[in-house]
Structure 1
Amino acid sequence: MSTVTTQDGTQIYYKDWGTGQPIVFSHGWPLSADDWDTQMMFFLKHGFRVIAHDRRGHGRSSQVSDGHDMDHYADDLAALTEHLDLRDAVHVGHSTGGGEVVHYIARHGESRVAKAVLISAVPPIMVKTPTNPGGLPKEVFDDFQVQVATNRAQFYWDVPAGPFYGYNRPGAQVSQGVIQNWWRQGMMGSAKAHYDGIVAFSQTDFTEDLKKISVPTLIMHGDDDQIVPYENSGPLSAKLAKGAILKTYHGFPHGMPTTHAEQINADLLEFIQS
């Protein structure tokens, strides 16, 4: 397996296919690089070099006890880009991965970055606070942690079978394979990493990070996202990131890179080539 070892000794697994301009994909919680297979195959066929890694504690990366926070996630991504000497890279992040991309750019600069794409992403901040009254109550995320700690096998079935892909909506075309693949990816990872990661994706405030972004940025969000509600994420991030483009998808769910891959891939390609 291809891995890079970080400064604290964590082994980060990655895929690296093809040649050409690099596109680096950062996955959502609690998944792995495999969640990007459809996008990686698409862009590989269009002449790009495609890279995706398993976040620490996720997938095939080391199941370390600590470091499950945005600083480490960003630094691990930086270690990968430096290891592969990636330049002029397009960074694409879904959900928690969008937070990772934003924090990476803010923390490590834009010298290696050409463009950024945030898909159904967690910034600016998910949890409800005095300065973020539209956020979700902390109790929502506390309940996530309880379920991860006590019966994540069932939780990791209920999430994709219901709100993640919008399969709980009337008339939804449910794919059992997609549900099982989500479950497989989740159960590959560490319960400790996933437990801690809930705090990382829900409580990290990316407001100042977004203000530091100056590369061309596309923000893609479905207005029927039941995981990262649209109103408190996509539009707010677009106002904070300099010159960002907001593309709203009517009726699309959180997992739209999978459920609506053809549309998402086409729009990604158009933005990258523009």
Structure 2
Amino acid sequence: MSTITTKDGTEIYYKDWGRGQPIVFSHGWPLSADDWDNQMLFFLAQGYRVIAHDRRGHGRSSQTWTGNEMDTYADDLAALTAALDLKDAIHVGHSTGGGEVTRYLGRHGTKRVAKAVLIGAVPPLMLRTAANPGGLPIEVFDGIRAGVASNRAEFYRDITLPFYGYNRAGAKISEGIRQHWWLQGMMGGIKAHYDCIKAFSETDFTEDLKKIDIPTLVMHGDDDQIVPIGASGLMSAELVKGAKLKVYPGLPHGMCATHPDVINADLLAFIRG
């Protein structure tokens, strides 16, 4: 397998296919680089170099018990881009991966980066606070922690329904997509997944978003039941100077898998634009 080793000894697995301008994909919780299958195959055929890694504690990377927070995730991404000497890269992050990309840009700058895309992403802050009244109450995230700790396998199977909008009337359910999500989740380490809940829900990315000085596309489904659009995509698009916002009526959190043709076409238009 292709891996890099970070300064704390963690092995980060990655895929690196093709030649051309690099597109780097950062996945959501608790998944892996495999969640980008539809996008990597598409952009590889379009002549791009496509790269995706398994976040520490996820997929085929080390099952870490430390460093499962956004600063370290961002540093791991920086270590990967440095090891591969990426330049003029496009960074695409979904959900927690959107937080990872945002913190990477805020913490390490945009010297190596041409454009950024945040898809159903967690910034600026998921948790409801006095300063962020539109966020979700802590009880929501405590419930996720309880589900992971008590019966992770069952919880991961059940969460695929709202994740892909399969709990909506008339939804066409793909059991293959659901099983693919479950398999990716169960490959990772429970300690890292448990810690990551705090990372994606309680990290405030407001100042990171304000630092982004490259063309940025914010993509969000307005029926996202995992990361509701009101306190995430809509606010992020306002905080990033010059950001372009694309709202998808009726689409779920996992729209990259349920509607890849729509998402890939819009990604391509933005990257080429």
Partner of 1:228: 227
Q: Distance in 1 between matches of 2:65 and 2:126?
A: 24
Q: Distance in 1 between matches of 2:220 and 2:65?
A: 32
Verify: 1:34 aligned to 2:34, yes or no.
yes
Partner of 1:249: 248
Q: Deviations over 1:231-273 (max 9, x none)?
A: 1111100010010000000000000000010000000000000
Q: Deviations over 1:154-182 (max 9, x none)?
A: 0000011x100000000101000000000
Verify: 1:137 aligned to 2:147, yes or no.
no
Partner of 2:9: 9
Percent identity for Structure 1 against Structure 2: 71
Q: So what's the TM-score if we normalise by structure 1? A: 0.99
Verify: 1:21 aligned to 2:21, yes or no.
yes
Verify: 1:214 aligned to 2:218, yes or no.
no
Q: Distance in 1 between matches of 2:61 and 2:210?
A: 31
Aligned AA (1:28): G
Q: Deviations over 1:74-105 (max 9, x none)?
A: 00000000000000000000000000000000
What does residue range 112-191 of structure 1 map to in structure 2 within 5 Å?
Answer: 112-160=112-160, 162-191=161-190
Q: Distance in 1 between matches of 2:188 and 2:249?
A: 32
Q: Distance in 2 between matches of 1:111 and 1:154?
A: 43
Q: Deviations over 1:176-202 (max 9, x none)?
A: 000000000000000000000000000
Q: Distance in 2 between matches of 1:270 and 1:138?
A: 38
Q: Distance in 2 between matches of 1:29 and 1:150?
A: 18
Q: Distance in 2 between matches of 1:98 and 1:65?
A: 22
Q: Deviations over 1:127-162 (max 9, x none)?
A: 0000000100001101101111110000000011x1
Verify: 1:43 aligned to 2:20, yes or no.
no
Partner of 2:106: 106
Partner of 2:66: 66
Q: Distance in 2 between matches of 1:221 and 1:140?
A: 20
How far the C-alpha of 1:64 sits from its partner, in A, is 1.3
Aligned AA (2:26): S
Q: Deviations over 1:13-42 (max 9, x none)?
A: 000000000000000000000000110000
User: Secondary structure of the equivalent of 2:172?
Assistant: coil
Q: Distance in 2 between matches of 1:64 and 1:206?
A: 23
Aligned AA (1:53): H
Q: Distance in 1 between matches of 2:98 and 2:84?
A: 21
Aligned pair count reads 273
RMSD: 0.4
Q: So what's the TM-score if we normalise by structure 2? A: 1.00
How far the C-alpha of 1:58 sits from its partner, in A, is 0.1
Aligned AA (2:122): V
- Structure 1 unaligned blocks of 5 or more: none
How far the C-alpha of 1:226 sits from its partner, in A, is 0.1
Q: Distance in 2 between matches of 1:64 and 1:203?
A: 20
How far the C-alpha of 1:72 sits from its partner, in A, is 0.5
- Structure 2 unaligned blocks of 5 or more: none
User: Secondary structure of the equivalent of 1:76?
Assistant: helix
